[in-house]
A = this chain, B = another copy of it.
Amino acid sequence: MPRLDESLLTHLPPFDGLSRTDIRRILDGAVSRRFEIGADIFREGEPADRFFLLLDGYIRVVRSTEAGEQITVLHIPAGQLFGIARAIGRETYPGRAVAAAECIVLCWPTGLWDDFTRQYPGFSLSTARTVGVRLGEIQSRMQELATLHVEARIATALLRLITQTGRPTEAGVEIDFPLTRQDLSEMTGTTLHTVSRLLSAWQREGVVQSQHRRITVLDRARLEACAQHRG
């Protein structure tokens, strides 16, 4: 494995402000791995013996019901720690982490968590913040599920996606990884049929453009208007 470059970490919240030697030491404890689209990074219920930093890509964390339905509880954009069950005192991962795009991650054994916490002063606060942000996000999504109609929920989901991973094109903003109707339905608590119908309608109106597993938002303002509609 190639030696990892220190600049990978110097600007990320949990590590910024650390000395070169500290960062060198942190990197030397890490393993870098690549995951193809659709690959599982960890599974629900597995012992949480590693934690990760997402260098590049996009991850979704899903939970399954007993009936086999999946719902996406969380999205993780590049630059964030994840799989930090340890930080909240859990022994196992509470969900399955799937690579939504091709992902490059750094991976440490959980044992190092306590070392990092002890040795690097800002680390603990920084990860607490990460947890806090996630808690807030989940609460927002819960609120959306409880109060918004399907149309507004899907609009919100698309807006979130283009904000986090959008790539500008000549026509609009494209979501930077393949996304099925099924995926969107799992994010919004609906069915792939309803998502398909809605995207078709939006396409007819020129709000979005979509081919096979590719979605481009053409008219962001219109989506925002949809997202406002209360149910």
Interface residues of A (CB under 8 A from B): 63, 65, 67, 69, 71, 73, 85, 87-90, 94-95, 125-126, 128-129, 131-132, 134-136, 138-139, 141-143, 145-147, 188-189, 230
Contacts and interface: CB of A to CB of B under 8 A. Distances in A.
Taken together, the copies of this chain in the complex come to 2
Which secondary structure dominates where chain A touches chain B? helix
A132 B88 contact: yes
B132 A138 contact: no
Nearest to A64: B143
Contact of A131 (B88, B94, B95, B141): B88
Contacts of A136: 90, 94
A184 to B, nearest CB: 13
Nearest to A153: B146
22 contacts: A63-B143, A65-B230, A69-B147, A71-B143, A71-B147, A73-B139, A73-B142, A88-B128, A88-B129, A88-B135, A89-B128, A89-B132, A90-B136, A94-B135, A94-B139, A131-B135, A135-B138, A138-B138, A142-B142, A145-B145, A146-B188, A146-B189
B143 A73 contact: yes
A125 B89 contact: yes
A44 to B, nearest CB: 11
Contact of A128 (B63, B69, B87, B95): B87
Nearest to A74: B139
A205 to B, nearest CB: 25
Contacts of A89: 125-126, 128-129, 131-132
A129 B88 CA distance: 5
Nearest to A129: B89
A141 B143 contact: no
A145 B142 contact: yes
Contact of A139 (B63, B131, B132, B143): B63
A73 B145 CA distance: 12
A146 B189 CA distance: 4
B146 A145 contact: yes
B132 A85 contact: yes
A77 to B, nearest CB: 18
A110 to B, nearest CB: 14
7 nearest A-B pairs in the assembled complex, by CB-CB distance: A88-B132, A146-B189, A89-B129, A145-B145, A89-B128, A71-B146, A67-B230
